[in-house]
Amino acid sequence: MKEAKEGNITKEMRIVAENEKLEPEFIRRGISKGRIIIPKSNRRELNPPIGIGKGLFVKINANVGSSKKVFDPEEELAKAQIAEKYGADTLMDLSTGIKESDVIQIRRKILENTNIPLGTVPIYQSALRAIETKGAIIHMDEDDLFNVVEEQAKEGVDFFTIHAGVTREIIDYLVDHPRMMGVVSRGGTFLAAWILHHEQENPFNKKYDYLLEMAQEYDFTLSLGDGMRPGGIFDSTDYPQIRELMEISTLVKRAWNNNVQVMVEGPGHIPAHEIEQNIKIQKSLCDEAPFYVLGPLVTDIAPGYDEIVSAIGGTMAGLAGADYLCYVTPSEHLGLPNREEVKRGVIASKIAAHAVNIARYGKRASEWDYKMDIARKNLNWKDMITLAIDPELAEEKHLRSGEKLDEDVCSMCGDFCAIKLLRDALEEKNK
Amino acid sequence: MKEAKEGNITKEMRIVAENEKLEPEFIRRGISKGRIIIPKSNRRELNPPIGIGKGLFVKINANVGSSKKVFDPEEELAKAQIAEKYGADTLMDLSTGIKESDVIQIRRKILENTNIPLGTVPIYQSALRAIETKGAIIHMDEDDLFNVVEEQAKEGVDFFTIHAGVTREIIDYLVDHPRMMGVVSRGGTFLAAWILHHEQENPFNKKYDYLLEMAQEYDFTLSLGDGMRPGGIFDSTDYPQIRELMEISTLVKRAWNNNVQVMVEGPGHIPAHEIEQNIKIQKSLCDEAPFYVLGPLVTDIAPGYDEIVSAIGGTMAGLAGADYLCYVTPSEHLGLPNREEVKRGVIASKIAAHAVNIARYGKRASEWDYKMDIARKNLNWKDMITLAIDPELAEEKHLRSGEKLDEDVCSMCGDFCAIKLLRDALEEKNK
């Protein structure tokens, strides 16, 4: 951000500009104003670096990571690589575990074996450290929080979710005014519980300047986490959520004043008619800082299909201005996803992002659709399969009924194929 | 519609009112003005009859039916029953086949063994009759078209898709001004090819009054098909599509003048930013006649995942005022769906409709979500599974990692469960 403000166009800005089909100066200007970020640690090379923000294609993130119950570093790496293969623009490693060393091991493996930006929620590791060294999460101290951020930054983590907007004031309000689902953000909950127990302000809020110093040193990007994000549609757009967003909006500006790249995380469970207003108030309060939404999920009834629920909400959020969508897998609300669910989550989220890009940018984004339509028009099954977002699956479904790729009709309509019939009628007409 | 105009509240109106949590008079008034329909043949009993239109919950339709390549009546019935089980409000039998008797056999089986409204596209059977009796679809005559409608009406088909808006004028325009994907509606294509070959007006348009007479006799509902619906996002909202909609708007009013219930079918492939305008122009031109959308599909790149693409478009269409969503399965653009794909298509469409209902009607529609949130808040896995839109799948995913239903955390977060942590912290606080 410092380079951008000084008018310098870096190598990363040039690469992003090329991939976005934009001028490098557009990227530089966006970064200087905080509207665009290139999340990339100065300790890590990315291939390619990616930009997130105003005027750019909507990006998607895939979460991977173990939990205490399921610990398998190879499996988490495989999920990360599947996510990368199917089009995730970034990864977040949300590993927890039994021992602190578990999460360190997984994170390093992912950092070494993937090429896209990696984010973490460092408080998960701090919590494990507190359990090991002090017996319980609640005994976590400021050193546990900040030291872990620095240790991870040294390893090259590109962006950190930090719940600096979870203030004592908001938690006190929540105690007096319970909401339906309470707090469903894990990081937010650790801090809420800590605030309640110690009767002190959130260290990430109190010592935010220290965090900004570290961000400058390692050039990591801050993702201001929404600890108060609604955990069900009935908590949507309530006092704690908006109060935290307002706190975050002040933290955004402090980051910019210190040349630190920053984005804002958002909901969550939001009914469809409240999505647009949620995005617009964030954009307005935070002076168009990039907005990273978790979902949104437009209904709570569909565990097993939340990738669909989230694709609906993500598209609507993107149309209203969100810049970056966190995927949701079919196992959300049920358990840790497996590889197939990671793939499905990425594809659902990619569809949402692409639908938004078409709507926002027209031709700049729809070349892929154009090629597909040409293939369909020509009943060219080989191209239709190759161009599909998941060619293996498309081929399997197409060939299931004994079809061949060089035939010009499919089992859906057979000889009643509309495209073929009209083509033949027009040919007859033009004889 | 005649009864409603005369101020009479029928048994069907009462049942619909009860299921919609509305007053019977609201339903009667809606029907009298054409804004609500209860598609139900006077030759068939339904359990329950359903209403579609303004102020009512958004409904979903599932298509089943064989093609020339895949003919298996038991399989199509099984698909119809799966669709009914997972929440389809109506069915359409789109069977084609090798012989006319094939489609008759499947239709009768479905009529006998399902309880929800059934629609067809009768021209498919007319085409088979023309092939058998005259050697080619193109030799289809007016009798083939109208006799099939009457024969199916006598069997109790509740609504018919009739492409009466495909006029000679529009087809002539299309010949002079080709669009990217031409015509992708099968029924529309048969008529387009017929018009081109015979150089005559579409019989359904020319003899529309005859159709209205039959509709009165059997009390079937007309679904005015959109033969010009875009087959790719680049044809969206173009001249043929809107010209046909204008023609349809005049046919709607002629139906109403004859006390015939009518709905309007709509696109199709529409990029996200054009959905709202598409719904609003239909509502405006057609004086709020119920709008039945096929998708819309917001991108063309995702064969294999078009249930997701369609859930996105369907939600946006519903928010803009669409009343009735036709499902799309994951095998759309690839082949005939199997049972699993039918189920997935229904669930995706149901999610879209439900998301719209929550947005439109708040508490009237969100009791299901409320119960789910209570179960989640209480970490009550048994209830969470039972309440899920697909309990079997939710249970399978939840239990996969060795979990038990009476445990209070899941493999996603393990002991890091936010809900549990905050609950414990608050309990400690309140000691």
Give the pLDDT confidence of B267-312 residue by residue, as tens digits.
Answer: 999 999 999 999 999 999 999 999 999 999 999 999 999 999 999 9
Structure tokens at B183: 């015509």
What residues of chain B score a pLDDT lower than 50? none
Last residue of a domain, one of B363, B382, B405: B363
Does residue B397 share a domain with residue B308? no
In the chain, the amino acid numbered B96 is T
User: Both A374 and A351 in a single domain?
Assistant: no
Residue A358 · residue B300 · CB < 8 Å: no
Q: Is B227 within 8 Å of chain A by CB?
A: no
**What H or E segment, with its residue span, contains residue B394?**
helix B391-399
Report how far apart the first and last C-alpha atoms of chain A are (Å, whole number). 65
Query: Does residue B380 sit at the A interface (CB-CB below 8 Å)?
Result: no
Say whether both B403 and B263 belong to one domain: no
- Chain B window 246-305: which residues touch A at a Cβ cutoff of 8 Å? 271-273, 298-305
Q: Per 3-state DSSP, what percentage of chain B is helix, strand, and coil (rounded to 5)?
A: 55, 10, 35
Residue ranges of A 121-140 with Cβ closer than 8 A to chain B? 124, 127, 137-138
Beta strands per DSSP E along B167-261: 221-224
pLDDT score of B73: 92
A98 or B409, greater pLDDT = A98
A71 within 8 A of A63, measured Cβ to Cβ: no
Tell which of A79, A98, A298 to mutate to test the B interface (max B CBs under 10 Å). A298
Q: Each residue of A42-64: pLDDT tens digit?
A: 999 998 999 999 999 999 999 99
Interface ipTM above 0.90: yes
Across B377-391, b (16+ Cβ under 10 Å) vs e yields bebbbebbbebbbbe
Domain that holds residue B405: 367-429
**Residue A34 belongs to a domain:** no
Task: Classify strands A59-64 and A52-53 as parallel, antiparallel or unpaired.
Answer: unpaired
Kindly state whether residues B234 and B259 are assigned to the same domain: yes
* Domain CATH code at residue A210: 3.20.20.540
Q: What is the predicted pLDDT for the residue at A408? A: 67
Structure tokens at B162: 């009739």
Query: Which of A363, A378, A409 is where one domain is finished?
Result: A363
Number of CB pairs < 8 Å for A and B? 355
Amino acid sitting at position B77: L
Scanning the structure block, which residue is given the tokens 């599509």?
B241
Does residue A41 sit within a domain? no
Whether A359 and chain B come into contact, CB under 8 Å, resolves to yes
At residue A414, does pLDDT exceed 70? Answer: no
The answer to whether residues B281 and B269 belong to one domain is: yes
Q: Measure CB to CB from residue A359 to each of B271, B331, B333 and give the nearest one.
A: B271
Single out the residue in B347, B363, B379 at which a domain terminates: B363
Q: How far apart are CA B195 and CA B189, in angstroms?
A: 10
Judge contact between B227 and B185, C-beta under 8 A: yes
Interface of B with A in 139-178 (CB under 8 A): 175
Residues B422 and B330 occupy one common structural domain: no
- Dihedral sign for Cα A47, A52, A55, A57, please: positive
Residue type at A130?
A: A
The H or E element spanning position B343 is helix B339-361
Q: Are residues B137 and B70 in the same domain?
A: yes
The 10s digit of each residue's pLDDT in B389-418 is: 999 999 999 998 777 776 666 666 666 677
Interface test with B, best of A234, A385, A422, A423 (most B CBs within 10 A): A422
What would the pLDDT profile of B230-270 be if each residue is shown by its tens digit?
Answer: 999 999 999 999 999 999 999 999 999 999 999 999 999 99
Look at chain A and report how many structural domains it folds into. 2
Nearest chain A alpha carbon to B297: A355
Contacts of B326-330 spanning 24+ positions with Cβ under 8 A: B326/B60, B326/B61, B326/B63, B326/B92, B326/B292, B326/B293, B326/B294, B326/B295, B327/B60, B327/B61, B327/B62, B327/B63, B327/B83, B327/B88, B328/B294, B328/B295, B328/B297, B330/A397, B330/B304, B330/B305, B330/B306
